[in-house]
């Protein structure tokens, strides 16, 4: 029973350590696009932007056929930051350009569209919450899908701004990546991402065409070995006193 209690206290101690961390961040994001199914004389456009501590940027340019079919062309994107209940700092950036023809007669109309998303997130642990050196764990997933007739590009760069703009990682293709980043109190990490794409489709094309790019990044503070030892000692003392 005491071993179970000890294990529970270790888990709660680590959770408390994680909850004690405070994130200091800014979020600048810009996105926009246009979409046009060819039987509509006017393209549909949309644009959004955010800066400072706004957590969400999102836009959608969606054009649908005018002839009664369900053909559509969608160009949309978003950039969002959040802190989850485990106190992990998360970044989610999405771009989607898609042409979907209708299976109904007259549904292969063709269309044209394009768009882009620019997201810049700067992240730091305030000096008051960190003393000296510590580590961040970064989990990154970048998923890119493109069809034969569309084009696009994605670039993601992780940089330590404080350390003379030291580039920590760069990605331009689908990737699953995990790394620990050595930080000092007050260091500023920048996560920059640029996603863009689109395409032109003729009325002879009956296939779904697309460029889709999705970036997910998760940051968590790695407990120092000394912190783990102190938590274990505290738990042992707690159990030894008969709790």
* Interatomic CA distance for residues 29 and 52, integer angstroms: 10
Per-residue pLDDT tens over the stretch 137-158: 999 999 999 999 999 999 999 9
Q: Is it the case that residue 224 has pLDDT exceeding 90?
A: no
What pLDDT, on a 0 to 100 scale, did the predictor assign at position 178?
A: 97
Find how far residue 180's CA is from the centre of its chain. Answer: 18
Backbone angles phi, psi at 202, to 5 degrees: -85, 170
Q: Is it the case that residue 14 has pLDDT exceeding 50?
A: no
Q: What is the pTM of this model?
A: 0.82
What SS3 class is residue 218? strand
Q: How confident is the model at residue 101 (pLDDT cuts 50, 70, 90)?
A: very high
Region 121-148: mean pLDDT is 85
Q: Is it the case that residue 129 has pLDDT exceeding 90?
A: no
Q: Is it the case that residue 243 has pLDDT exceeding 60?
A: no
| Residue predicted with more confidence, 127 or 172 | 172
Whose tokens are 């000296």? That residue is: 132
């Amino acid at each position: 029973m005491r071993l179970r209690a000890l294990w529970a206290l270790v888990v709660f101690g680590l959770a408390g350590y994680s909850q004690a961390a405070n994130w200091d961040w800014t979020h600048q994001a810009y996105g926009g696009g246009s979409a046009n199914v060819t039987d509509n004389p006017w393209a549909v456009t949309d644009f959004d932007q955010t800066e400072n501590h706004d957590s969400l940027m999102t836009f959608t340019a969606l054009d649908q056929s005018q002839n009664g079919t369900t053909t559509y062309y969608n160009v949309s994107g978003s950039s969002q930051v959040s802190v989850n209940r485990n106190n992990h700092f998360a970044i989610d950036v999405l771009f989607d350009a898609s042409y979907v023809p209708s299976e109904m007669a007259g549904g292969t109309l063709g269309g044209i569209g394009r768009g882009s998303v620019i997201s810049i997130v700067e992240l730091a642990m305030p000096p008051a919450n960190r003393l000296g050196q510590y580590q961040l764990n970064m989990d990154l997933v970048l998923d890119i899908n493109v069809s034969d007739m569309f084009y696009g590009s994605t670039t993601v760069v992780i940089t330590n701004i404080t350390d003379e703009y030291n580039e920590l990682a760069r990605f331009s293709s689908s990737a699953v990546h995990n790394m620990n980043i050595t930080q000092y109190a007050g260091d500023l990490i920048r996560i920059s991402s640029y996603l863009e794409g689109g395409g032109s489709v003729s009325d002879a094309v009956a296939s779904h065409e697309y460029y889709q790019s999705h970036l997910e990044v998760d940051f968590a503070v790695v407990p120092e070995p000394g912190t783990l030892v102190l938590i274990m000692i505290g738990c042992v003392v707690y159990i030894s006193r008969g709790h």
